[in-house]
Amino acid sequence: MPESTNQVLYRKYRPQNWKDVLGQDHIVSVLEGALKLGNISHAYLFSGSRGLGKTTVARILARELGASENDIIEIDGASNRGVDEARNLREAVRTLPFDSKCKVYIIDEVHMLTKDAFNTLLKTLEEPPAHVIFILATTELDKVLETIVSRCQTFIFKKQNEESLASFAHNIAKKEGFELSKDAAELIAVLGDGSFRDTHGVLQKIFSFSKDKKISVEKVELVSGAPSVALVRDFLFAILEKDIAKGFDAVKKAGEKNTDMDIFLKLVLHRLRAAFIIRFTKNIKDAEAHFGGEETEFLKRIAGTEGAHISSETLSILLDARVNIRYFFISELPLEMALVKILNN
Span 93-136, pLDDT tens digits = 889 999 999 999 999 999 998 888 888 888 888 888 899 999 99
Return the pLDDT at 103: 94
Q: Domain check: are 170 and 145 in the same one?
A: no
Q: 6 CB contacts (<8 Å, ≥6 apart)?
A: 201, 204, 205
- The answer to the question of residue 144 being in a domain is yes
Domain enclosing residue 259, as ranges: 229-343
Tell which wins on pLDDT, 203 or 82. 203
The answer on pLDDT for 137 being more than 80 is yes
Residues 218 and 236 in one domain: no
Q: Are residues 255 and 298 in the same domain?
A: yes
Instruction: Identify the CA nearest to 44 among candidates 119, 136, 117, 118.
Output: 136
Q: What is the pLDDT of residue 343?
A: 87
| pLDDT higher than threshold 70 for residue 2 | no
145 & 57 share domain: yes
Does the structure show a pLDDT above 60 at 1? no
Q: What angle do CA 325, 330, 335 make, to 5 degrees?
A: 50
For the residues 292-298, what does the mean pLDDT come to?
74
Alpha-helical runs (H) found in the chain: 3-6, 8-12, 25-37, 54-64, 83-92, 115-126, 146-149, 162-175, 182-192, 196-209, 217-224, 229-240, 244-256, 261-281, 285-291, 293-303, 312-325, 333-343
- Please list, in sequence order, all residues whose beta carbon lies within 8 angstroms of the beta carbon of residue 22, skipping any fewer than 6 positions away: 15, 53, 160, 164, 168, 196
Number of domains in the chain: 3
Our CA angle for 56, 60, 61, nearest 5°, is 115
Whether 201 has a pLDDT exceeding 70, the answer reads yes
We report the CATH number of the domain holding residue 175 as 1.10.8.60
What's 247's domain CATH number?
A: 1.20.272.10
Q: In this structure, is residue 234 part of a structural domain? A: yes
Residues 169 and 218 in one domain: yes
- Angle CA(175)–CA(264)–CA(197) in degrees, nearest 5? 35
**Could you report the per-residue pLDDT of 223-279, keeping only the tens digit for each?**
887 888 889 989 998 988 889 999 999 999 988 888 888 889 988 998 888 888 888
301 or 111, which is more confident?
111
Residue 325's pLDDT is 85
**Mean of all residue pLDDT scores within the chain:** 88
**pLDDT in the model for residue 345:** 67
